[in-house]
Amino acid sequence: MKNSPSIFYLAVISKNKEREYEEIIYGKLEAFNFMAFHEKRLELGNDQVMLLCFSNPSVLDERSGGVVYVDCYPDDLAGVFEKIKLDISLKNLGEILDSIDGFFTGFIVHNSRIIMFRDHVGAIPCNYRVDAGSFVATSFRKMIDGSVAHPPGRMIVWDSGLFKIHRWYRWRGFSGDYVVELKNRLIDVFSRYLPGGFSLGFSGGLDSVLIAYVASMLGRRIECITVGAEDSIDLQWAEDAATLLGLRLRKIKVDQKLVRDTVEVVSRYLVNPTVMDLSIALVFYLVATNSVYGYVVSGQGADELFGGYYKYVKIGREKGLGYVKGVMMKDILELHKTNIERDYLAVATMGKRLIQPYLAKKIYELALSTPVNLKISLEDDSGRKIILRRIGKMLGLQDQLIWKPKKALQYSSKVQKLMYNIIQR
């Protein structure tokens, strides 16, 4: 398996701007010197040139007059993308993308046409900027000033200076026994997406516990890692959960010095991060730093998909379940802007690939179909992620693991509190 993530910088520009953009590209890539970059130059039509700097693509198909570039996971998707033709129609490309079960970001450059595409949820970061006569795209926002996120489930087409966005993804609804169906899909997805050995960001909460439990059933090698201050809830809960599951746990204890030093690193790669962003990125970075595997697995996304935040209960009580459904949908559709790039980048800086199995298409689509009353209860403050708790019961998880309350990791790890202490000083 190709565990290293891919990073790219693509610029399609007029030839008279080539030297200017070379200087910009090299300047931006200096911050990402933990990667070994390769370069490709290709002359296109209309007096334009393609400049491409890249590392570790799943697919790099260089042909006469063009290139196909893709980063994808699981790795078996590479065989699908290798068959794509440079002159493929948007209709045919959309049909291929719609048939794929996996995470991906990629582009096709052919003559004067660029097509960029991204999976249903945006699990692999991609950003772009369009100027008069030029198109620039990169993995991370920090690499292009004024860039915007490539919308998930869309194809971006830039052809001879004309720019359009085409939607290829339309989610498939489900009606039936949601609990049984989700149980089956979780096992299927975890079987497909979890590599033979991986490190798991482990807090002792339901999301990571379910991954660890099913992964153990599947015979995977798991390294559970938790990050927190000496007296944090996360360290104790994670230890209790790992003991019940019969798994070894690595505890990373943080203090103000480690927090300060780590924030100094992760802040180089994020655009206008909040204290919360830095706190969460710090945890992911430390998990990746201490991982013995090339893959880091996270339960991120489960809170948005299955109603894990207390705010959903609070809003539901004030405005009803119909309203909170819209709030949850908004949070899901903005995951690629708010969470995914931050977490992916924090792990990628250590040359590791982040895998978020709850965001897989089969789970994602069923979550969108699941009634809100199977996610949250307005009668009980702890009545969140109801459907996941039922599945845990069906799979044989102990009640202590199913019903243990959990705070957001930036609070339960006490990382954010340490950050505020540093700011105040």
Question: Are the folds of 7-167 and 178-424 the same?
Answer: no
The Cα angle at residue 325 between residues 321 and 327, in degrees rounded to 5: 115
Give the span between the Cα atoms of 310 and 276, in whole angstroms.
17
Classify residue 375 as exposed, middle or buried by CB count within 10 Å of its CB (0-12, 13-18, 19+).
buried
For position 403, what pLDDT does the model report? 87
Give pTM, 2 decimals.
0.94
- Would you list the domain boundaries of the chain? 7-167, 178-424
Give the span between the Cα atoms of 325 and 8, in whole angstroms.
36
For position 132, what pLDDT does the model report? 81
pLDDT in tens, the chain (425 residues): 456 899 999 999 999 999 999 999 988 888 887 788 999 999 987 889 999 999 999 999 987 779 999 999 999 999 999 999 999 999 999 999 999 999 999 999 998 899 999 999 999 999 999 988 899 999 999 999 999 999 999 999 999 889 999 999 999 999 999 999 999 999 999 999 999 999 999 999 999 999 999 999 999 999 999 998 888 888 889 999 999 999 999 999 998 899 989 989 999 899 999 988 999 999 999 999 999 999 999 999 999 999 999 999 999 999 999 999 999 999 999 999 989 999 999 999 999 999 999 999 999 999 999 999 999 999 887 789 999 999 999 999 999 999 877 666 555 677 878 877 777 66
Q: Does the domain made of 178-424 have the CATH classification 3.40.50.620?
A: yes
For position 1, what pLDDT does the model report? 47
For position 365, what pLDDT does the model report? 98
CATH annotation of 7-167: 3.60.20.10
- The DSSP-derived string for 316-383 is HHHH-HHHHHHHHHHHHHTHIIIIIHHHHHHHHTTT-EEE-GGGSHHHHHHHHHS-GGGTB-TT-TT-
